[in-house]
Amino acid sequence: MNDTPPLSAEEASAPAPWDPSAVKILCVDDEPNVLSALRRMFTLEGCTISVADSGAAALQALADERFDVIISDMQMPEMNGAQLLQQVRQQWPHTMRILLTGTADLANAVAAINEGDLVATAVLSGNRNFAGRISPRVVNRRQIESLAAGGAFDALEPNRAGVHAIAETLLAVAAEAEHSRTSGQGGLFGGDEHKVAAIKLPPGAHWSLAERMAQEREAFGFYFSAHPIDRYRHVASAHGARDYAALCGQPAPADGARTGAVMAVLIEDVKWRTSARGRRYANCAVSDATGQFIASCFDELTAKEMEEAAKTNSCGLITVELDRQPGEETPRITIKRIQPMEGLAANSRLMAVVTMSDATAISALAALLHGESGGRGEVVVQAELEHGASARVRLGRSFALDAELAARIEALPGVVSVTLSAAEMPRLALVS
């Protein structure tokens, strides 16, 4: 006989506690950085995350298993987000559908919402008259600054620092526009559209790559368009570093043996723990562009170095030991050694290969590099000439190269791409 008292009407109708681990989310985007950011964000919330880089891959994933939520980007080749979510609605109506878009075509985004019966959307209108269309009563300066820092205005103005700096001006223009609308002051021939003059960005408004990422994390709570370790990609490559996703993807050794690896990571947090045997060790929260994970460190000196790096959120090259048994999804990671990335980068000989579509851009490049001497970096220009010919010119081997300078070079008119890598050391010949 069951003596458990029956539930009251209030208790019976109360919703069950939300369990994030029971939520399965499928994220769809053709940009790897966006997928990595979404994976990190929802993983930290405890949700189960799967990703797909196209509409076709997403449909296959849905056919293989059930998902509670699908989040799709709007702008994708072959099948856009609206087309994908329409098919999802027809075949898997139980799945919640969310569309993310930074498209400038507001009409298409609205149509997608209506046709796909979407639950939520993030839409950024490309109308240049943004300030004349917002209400200062519902939007404040801090909100505009956070949106700018997070990249919400990139489709209108890619200079995030500039938009961040004119937040007060945008609100002032918005207040004037709203006053004009509410006071009944229409145009000369009727209509109520308030014309707003173009707002010029302050000269010199610029965020470095590090500042841009710091602002992005402040606004989002995580890195979205890039990761701090991306600044040292060339150093990581030169030392044979592997990312977390690649290590998780490799099969466990058949004999259960431990394996070694090198990783390039951001050290986010360190907490000290005591094992069951009374041994003191450090639990280190680290991340790279593919995910965040916890690694253990039992060496006292290395653990203290990790702790110091965490205080400044520094990047490091860590030597690790992987322990993964058959049946385990992820390896247990033990940190054996850490080397600060800044020191490694300073001692690395780098080479930047600048690919140009217009040979005349070399003068702008020379002007930019004029104040960047004093390093050990080599700059090589590869330019396309007339009649299908190409030229490769070495500009010098004494430049102070880093990821920030490479980004500035890539922004020059006529520059197609910049590839930053570790330069080969000059080979010495034996002389008899």
Domain boundary residue, one of 220, 249, 271: 220
pLDDT of residue 185: 52
Instruction: Note whether residue 236 is domain-resident.
Output: yes
- Reading phi first (left if > 0) and then psi (alpha if -120 to 50, else beta), residue 221 is in left
Task: Return the pLDDT at 41.
Answer: 77
What domain range is 125 assigned to? 20-220
pTM: 0.51
Same domain, 295 and 260: yes
pLDDT at 418: 85
Residue 9 lies in a domain: no
Whether 1 is covered by a domain: the verdict is no
Q: 21-59 as b/e, with b when 16 or more CB fall inside 10 Å?
A: eebbbbbbbbeeebbbbbbbbbeeeebebbbbbbbeebb
Sign of the C-alpha dihedral, residues 296, 298, 299, 303? positive
Among 156, 185, 220, give the residue marking a domain's end: 220
SS3 of the chain: CCCCCCCCHHHHHCCCCCCHHHCEEEEECCCHHHHHHHHHHHHHCCCEEEEECCHHHHHHHHHHCCCCEEEEECCCCCCCHHHHHHHHHHHCCCCEEEEECCCCCHHHHHHHHHHHCCCEEECCCCCCCCCCCCCCCCCCHHHHHHHHHHCCCCCCCCCHHHHHHCHHHHHHHHHHHHHHHHCCCCCECECCCCCCCCCCCCCCCCCCHHHHHHHHHHHHCCCCCCCHHHHHHHHHHHCCCCCHHHHHHCCCCCCCCCEEEEEEEEEEEEEEEECCCCCEEEEEEEEECCEEEEEEECCHHHHHHHHHHHHCCCEEEEEEEEECCCCCCCCEEEEEEEEEHHHHHHCCCEEEEEEECCHHHHHHHHHHHCCCEEEEEEEEEEEECHHHCEEEEEEEEEECCCHHHHHHHHCCCCEEEEEEEECCCCCCCCCC
pLDDT value for 118: 47
Task: Identify whether 180 is part of a domain.
Answer: yes
178 plus 294 within the same structural domain: no
The whole-number pLDDT of residue 191 equals 46
Q: Are residues 24 and 149 in the same domain?
A: yes
- Does one domain contain both 198 and 102? yes
Structure tokens at 322: 């992987």
Q: How many domains does the chain have?
A: 3
Q: Would you say residue 6 lies in a domain?
A: no
Q: What is the CATH number of the domain that holds 387?
A: 3.30.70
CATH number at residue 91: 3.40.50.2300
CB atoms within 10 A of CB 321: 16
Q: Are residues 41 and 181 in the same domain?
A: yes
In the numeric block, which tokens belong to residue 291? 């995910």
Residue by residue, pLDDT tens for the chain (432 residues) are 455 555 555 444 444 555 777 889 999 998 887 888 788 777 777 888 999 999 999 999 999 999 989 998 888 888 888 888 888 888 898 888 887 765 444 445 445 544 544 443 333 333 345 666 677 777 788 888 888 888 878 777 778 888 888 888 888 877 877 777 676 554 443 444 455 456 677 777 878 777 787 788 777 777 777 788 888 888 888 888 999 988 988 887 877 788 999 999 999 999 999 988 889 999 999 998 888 899 999 999 999 999 999 998 899 999 999 998 777 788 999 999 999 988 887 777 788 899 988 777 888 888 888 878 777 788 888 887 777 777 888 888 888 887 778 878 888 888 888 888 777 655 545 555
Distance CA 228, CA 350 (A): 18
What was the pLDDT predicted at 18?
Answer: 56
